[in-house]
Chains A and B, each alone.
Chain A
Amino acid sequence: MIVVEGLRKQYRSGEQPVVDHVNLEVKQGEFTAIMGPSGSGKSTLLNLMGGLDLPDQGTVYVDGLPLHTLSEKRRTLMRRRKIGYIFQNYQLLSMLNVRENIAFPMSVDRCPKEEIQLRVQELVKELGLKGKEEAVPDELSGGQQQRVAIARALAMQPKVILADEPTGNLDRKRSQEVMEILLHLHRKERMTIVMVTHDLSVAGYAERILLYKDGRIESDIRQKEGDMPRVLEDFLAQLQT
């Protein structure tokens, strides 16, 4: 679904590149977390993967198309139609209400009004936002705002969701709610998700975790099936003594 080849990005010459010849393949339906300390360059990598930033070298293919060699117009269209973005600070439009925020990408894409209406209704229901349709972002809690942002990201029925610290501003309980929505999208709809986080307990929702440091992928860890978690082993071992 996403192929990254020899990607490099350096903000200032003489400094360490924030993305340093990264190669990566994310398969259709895979839920991947990129985990690393702040300042490691993981958000830049995600932005490059989503065409929000341009690399100095290398290419990103999304669904077979080379994102950075497309014309600006085609790249914008592709971003809008194939990729849904979720950010830490939600990035909702403050003057628009929930319904209008969710509808925004579809309105920009000039989708028929009836289609927009139906899709928004569907998403409001799916994301548990019923009764909040007319509220503006300031009237919502952080968790609700992030759910609106997720609904907006899903409006165009994208192939990929790119999420940058989606729970970064939320407490533990709200984080869990947001992550369960992403997990549901991954499991039930086989949505491809790439998420950046510094938080292990959030990254743990993914089936693959890339440890990112100093512009490079240090380790690529995949979930092994069938092993009993250590905490249970410990618990049961104690029980037997």
Chain B
Amino acid sequence: MSVKHAILALLYQQNRHGYDIKTQFESMVHGQWPLNAGQVYTTLDRLTRDGLVEPLAEGDRDRKEYRITDAGKEALHQWLLTPVERSLLKDAFFFKLLCAQEIDFPRKSEILNRQRSSLIRHMMQLRQLRAGLDPKRHKAMIYLVEGGILHLEADMKWLEMLLEESEME
């Protein structure tokens, strides 16, 4: 996932200038990540170089608008249809556990307990965030948060299993 594809998606809907892309992007991620204007223009330059977007003549107040090209549409379609790989080894907590195992760390159950508390706090935060979302206006964000809740539930079950096993050791 990248800013590149987010910009292609925003231009897919309509032609936009840089500042419009920035504000629409921030609205798309529910204001959780303010996008640097510089990053927008650098990415637009790169997309133009690769033939995925093209600049239009300068419009009102000298703002340059951009349009997605057919190649850009195709690149966006391909990206949307490509499944996302998952790797457990890239999970930071799992990697920590592997290292603890490797050095036979004596406080392994403390690692698990601390992780559990952190996970529970995250669940409370997600629930709080979810409660503030309007089903009509924030549909995509609700999907994201619900997905996060389900992931946390699975993480919790996994942690409980590890805790049970560490208690039996």
**Residues of A near any B CB (own CB < 8 A):** 37, 180, 183, 200-201, 203-207, 209, 211, 219, 221, 223-224, 227-232, 235-236, 238-241
Contact = CB atoms under 8 A, between A and B. Distances in A.
Interface of B: 1-3, 6, 29, 32-33, 113, 116-117, 119-129, 131, 144-145, 147-153, 156, 160
A200 B33 CA distance: 27
Nearest to B152: A200
Given A180-B131, A204-B124, A205-B127, A231 B151 contact: yes
A26 B71 CA distance: 61
A223 B121 contact: yes
A207 B122 contact: no
Contacts of A207: 124
Contact of A209 (B124, B128, B129, B147): B124
B32 A200 contact: no
Contacts of B160: 37
A33 to B, nearest CB: 9
Contact of B117 (A37, A221, A238): A221
A29 to B, nearest CB: 16
Given A37-B160, A224-B121, A229-B126, 6 more contacts: A200-B119, A204-B124, A204-B149, A223-B128, A231-B152, A235-B144
B121 A227 contact: yes
Given A183-B131, A206-B124, A227-B125, A241 B148 contact: no
Nearest to A205: B127
B166 to A, nearest CB: 14
